Amino acid sequence: MPLEEIILSLLRLQKGHISAKNLANETGMSISAISKRINLLRKYGYDVELSHRRGYRLASETDLPVPWELVKVLNTLFVGKDKKIIYRLTTHSTQKLAILLAEKNPNSDGTVIIAEYQKSGRGRKNRKWLSPKGGIWLSVVLRPSMPASNITLLPFAAALAVCDAIKKTTQLDAKLRWPNDVTISGKKVAGILIDSSIEAERINYAVIGIGVNANVDSSIISLHLERSIKVTSLRNELGHETSLLGLTKEILERLEYYYIELEHRVPHTIIEKWKKNSDILGQKVALMQSDRTIQGIAADVKDDGSLLVKADNCEDIYVVASDIYVRY
């Protein structure tokens, strides 16, 4: 947004008010073009006041993870670097956009797509993911050079990153729930979705979708879910808003950290860290299968990411991709 950025820097330089006429003179734009750009800045979360006598004043900076602000604070090696952050006020799904990009652009490694609002956000198992304004809805394109078998560990690395980031920025006691949910007091606050393309044992690309119920009203989200799924949001837990810019920065930095760890070290480390942050082990679980429900205790998570359940009938069951519901 080069033209908005010029207006933004003039507003910042001025500190107080600057008239529309002066902004127009400085930028070579018309007064109506200035007004349009100011409205766009407001949509991007900047509070620009207008006094009819004195002109415009930047009352407060944005807290949205818009690319030009995120790059200033983001401390990563390749994720979101080199203009690889795309921001949309509205889109159908960041995941859909990221997959299209990964399919057509071989240089898309590390690209981050963020949306303020998703019209048709997608959850695991093709469920709908409600994505109103106030949440963090993003997808990251990765082109991993790791064995295709490690792909099952990517969601664990991503969930761990989100859990770390929430703990660091909010001090809330976030936990991990198998396979890749982040919870607070047993209620889901964030979810991870992975789409990948694998050819001949080689990972062509992986798209990691991350959804965090940050500054949203969790009661609205609950209305759209099955009653057995309990959800919360950071705002509901904290009683106040949290910085979307700060939280997005932390998520991306931690995601890159665990991703590099997964590429260069034994997968075992990711699962060990995941287990330390999870409260599921030792808990009663019910495995909901199409024709039956198996009750048991969640005993372990194996290095390939599968969950070992000691069933009440003494059977050992390794769960790979089924949904489990933890009873509290």
Min dist. Cβ of residue 64 to ligand BTN (A) = 15
Q: Would you count residue 94 as binding ligand BTN (CB under 6 A)?
A: yes
Q: Which is nearer to ligand BTN, 94 or 232 (CB)?
A: 94
Min dist. Cβ of residue 29 to ligand BTN (A) = 35
Q: Which is nearer to ligand BTN, 127 or 275 (CB)?
A: 127
Q: Would you count residue 192 as binding ligand BTN (CB under 6 A)?
A: yes
| One of 65, 155, 211, 296 touching ligand BTN (CB under 6 A) | 211
| One of 46, 56, 129, 258 touching ligand BTN (CB under 6 A) | 129
Provide the β-strand partners of residue 194: 208
Provide the β-strand partners of residue 196: 206
Count of residues touching ligand BTN (by CB under 6 A): 21
Q: Would you count residue 139 as binding ligand BTN (CB under 6 A)?
A: yes
Nearest 10 degrees: CA dihedral of 228, 234, 239, 240?
-150
Angstrom distance (rounded) from CA 120 to CA 134: 16
Residue span binding ligand BTN (CB under 6 A) among the ranges 142-150, 157-165, 188-196, 233-241: 188-196
Residue span binding ligand BTN (CB under 6 A) among the ranges 163-171, 203-211, 279-287, 312-320: 203-211
Residue span binding ligand BTN (CB under 6 A) among the ranges 24-32, 70-78, 187-195, 252-260: 187-195
Min dist. Cβ of residue 50 to ligand BTN (A) = 34
Q: Residue 325 contacts by C-beta under 8 Å, 6 or more apart in sequence?
A: 228, 285, 286, 288
Q: Would you count residue 176 as binding ligand BTN (CB under 6 A)?
A: no
| One of 11, 34, 37, 95 touching ligand BTN (CB under 6 A) | 95
Residue span binding ligand BTN (CB under 6 A) among the ranges 48-56, 68-76, 207-215, 269-277: 207-215
CB-CB neighbours of 3 under 10 Å: 15
Q: Which is nearer to ligand BTN, 13 or 220 (CB)?
A: 220
Q: What are the structure tokens assigned to 199, written together?
A: 């050819």
Contacts 24+ apart (CB under 8 A), 258-266: 258/157, 258/158, 258/160, 258/161, 259/79, 259/142, 259/144, 259/154, 259/157, 260/77, 261/157, 262/144, 262/146, 262/150, 262/153, 262/154, 262/157, 263/144, 263/145, 263/146
Choose among 56, 87, 54: nearest CA to 69: 87
Strands (E), 101-238: 112-118, 136-142, 174-177, 181-184, 187-199, 202-212
Element (H, E) at 219: helix 218-223
Min dist. Cβ of residue 123 to ligand BTN (A) = 3
Min dist. Cβ of residue 190 to ligand BTN (A) = 8
Q: Would you count residue 193 as binding ligand BTN (CB under 6 A)?
A: yes
Q: What are the structure tokens assigned to 256, written together?
A: 């890159």
Element (H, E) at 168: helix 154-170
Q: Which residues bind ligand BTN (CB under 6 A)?
A: 93-95, 118, 121-124, 127, 129, 131, 137-139, 181, 191-193, 209-211
